[in-house]
Amino acid sequence: MKVPDREIPTRECDRQARKLLSPHGSRVFSAPPHETLASETYPEACALARAATGKAISKQCWHLFPKIREFDVISDPRIRESHPELVFAQLNGSKPVAASKKSMAEQNERLRLLRKVLPASIAAYLHADIALGQGDYLPDDCIDALALCLAAREPEKMLQRVERQQALHVEVALAGLIADRGFDAKRPAAKLESQGIASHICPKNPHILAERLREPQFHRWQTRRGAKG
C-alpha cells in the first residue's frame, strides 16, 4: 500500500525502487500526491496530481484510494512499506524476475523463490486457493502477500539486502506436501506437480486412498500425520 508524503508530491523511494527493478520499473507506480486524497472523482484526482507533479495518477492507484486514506490517518512507527517485486528480486540474486505474474508458469517462478526461505508459503497459497475460490481473489495478489509476509518477518534484514544488492542464498528443499483430505482438489495437485513437489495429500475418494496407502512413502507420511493429530 502506498503512503503519500505530506511534504513533497513525489517520493524518492519510488524512484529508487524503479531503478532497482530496471528494466521492469513500470511495476512500481508512484504514491499519489497527498492533496489528491480529498478527491471525490478520478478526473479530479488526476487534475490535482498533474498540478503537483505534471502527471495524472493511474486507475490502479485510484482504486486504492480508500485503503490509502485509511493508512494516511494512522501514525504507528511499526508500519513499514515494501514492494513484493523488490522481495522477489532479492530472492533472485538481486535481479528482477523477468516474467510477469499472470500465468501459472510465471507465478510458479515466484513461488519457487519463496519456498526456499518461507517453506510454508506453498501450503498457505493452496489454502487460499481452496478456501477463497477463483472468483474471490487473484493468485498473483496472494503471491505478493506472501512475499510481503517475508519482508514483515525480517524487515531490517530485507532492507539491508536491498541496500547492499545482495541475494538470499538460503536453500530449503521442499520434497513433498502432506495434508488432510480438505486439500484434495485438482488445482492444488496441478500446482504441486508443476513445482516438482510430491503430493501426499489424503484423497477424498476411499478407493484412491486404499491404492495410495500401498505406496510405502505415502503410507509412512500419512501415518506420521495421523500420529501427530
Q: How far apart are CA 47 and CA 43, in angstroms?
A: 6
Q: Give the pLDDT means over successive 10-residue stretches in the chain (229 positions).
A: 75 87 87 93 95 91 92 81 90 86 84 88 84 75 90 72 47 65 74 74 85 83 61
Tell me the whole-structure pTM to 2 decimals: 0.64
Alpha helices in the chain (DSSP H): 12-20, 42-53, 59-63, 65-72, 84-91, 104-117, 121-132, 139-153, 155-164, 186-194, 206-212, 216-228
| Cβ–Cβ under 8 Å, residues 188 and 129 | yes
pLDDT of residue 113: 92
pLDDT of residue 48: 95
pLDDT of residue 221: 74
pLDDT of residue 171: 44
pLDDT of residue 165: 46
Smallest CA-to-CA distance from 143 within 185, 182, 180, 195 is with: 195
| Cβ–Cβ under 8 Å, residues 84 and 144 | yes
pLDDT of residue 6: 76
156 — phi, psi (to 5°)?
Answer: -65, -40
- Give the three-class secondary structure for 200: strand
pLDDT of residue 117: 87
Q: How far apart are CA 100 and CA 103, in angstroms?
A: 8
